[in-house]
Amino acid sequence: MNLVKRRLLKNTLTSALAVLTGACLAPAQSPGNVTASIPYIAFGGVTAPNNVNAWTTEFIFTNLGTGQATVTFRWYGDSGAPLSVPVTGSGRAVTHQFQIAPNGTLDFSLDNTQDPLTGGWAAVDIVGSVSGQAVYHSDVTGRPEYSAAAPLVRNGTQANLILLGGGVPVSTVPAPVSLALPFNNIDNITGVSFANVTSTAQTLTLNFLDDGGGLLMSQTIPLAAGAHTAFPASDPRVANEKGTITVSGDGSPYSAIAFVMGTGPNNGTIATLLPIVQ
């Protein structure tokens, strides 16, 4: 955490992930049944009118059906407790529900002006033929806006996946399905985010492998019911390395996303990394 704070102005991705790193406390309310999820949301961080270091998450969902659709977002913090989120034009709440007309598009953003840098995840409940994506925006004073987006994967078309409004096809991951996230720390830093979309605690095991399949390091991530964590892969054992992070759990569903951000001359540029599901 201290390392991340020292990079606050230099590395906004790391800063955003740092906010989401914390103890997985017992949730005040578990998420219950989750059929779709956004494994990472970020908003806030405006510190002064002329000193902006802020993130927001934009959501773009289109109703491709012939009838009206309903999309409900349930927001959660790191502990799994409901998170009160400010949506521009719709106020602050722990849930937001929207109607989308046939062939209509829903486009809204989280307000980045009211809170310190804040993060978590969202459960998404959909009634209707809706597809979409989420876009992450990073704004720093004196620098062009950087953003990253990834496609939406609908449950049913790929039986082992659930909707990822954050853009990454992860979850559901029952055994023997395995998941791998690419990482690249050569002139970049990679960040990962995981959300437990169930009402039961689980533990994930991460193995960092180089391109040749050699094991660089391993770590375990305990997640309480509905809990979330995010962090940069900044351990010295994976510095200046690239390869794959294999993820395994106990067969319970979870949701994940990864980012890679340039360092040095390309500092601040970000992109989402799509996982490999088998």
Q: Hey, which residues does 192 pair with through a beta bridge?
A: 231, 258
Q: Is the pTM higher than 0.85?
A: no
Q: 255 pLDDT band (50/70/90 cuts)?
A: confident
> Which of 215, 214, 213, 173 minimizes the C-alpha distance to 194?
173
pLDDT score for 48: 67
Q: 23 pLDDT band (50/70/90 cuts)?
A: very low
SS3 248: strand
Q: Hey, which residues does 260 pair with through a beta bridge?
A: 190, 271
Q: Which residues contact 217 (CB under 8 A, 6 or more apart)?
A: 207, 208, 235, 237, 238
Distances in whole angstroms, Cα of residue 13 to Cα of each of 57, 113, 133, 179: 13, 18, 19, 23
Residue 85 backbone phi and psi in degrees, to 5: -115, 130
Average pLDDT for the chain: 77
33 CB-side CA count, 13 A: 3
Mean pLDDT value across residues 150-162: 39
> Which of 271, 266, 261, 265 minimizes the C-alpha distance to 12?
261
Range of the domain at 9: 2-277
pLDDT score for 81: 92
> Which of 141, 98, 121, 106 minimizes the C-alpha distance to 43?
121
Q: Is the model's pLDDT at 130 over the cut of 60?
A: yes
pLDDT score for 261: 84
Distance CA 82, CA 94 (A): 6
At residue 253's C-alpha, the angle toward residues 57 and 117, to 5°, is: 25
Mean pLDDT value across residues 115-132: 88
Domain count, the chain: 1
Question: H or E element: which one contains 201?
Answer: none
> Which of 122, 169, 166 minimizes the C-alpha distance to 148?
166
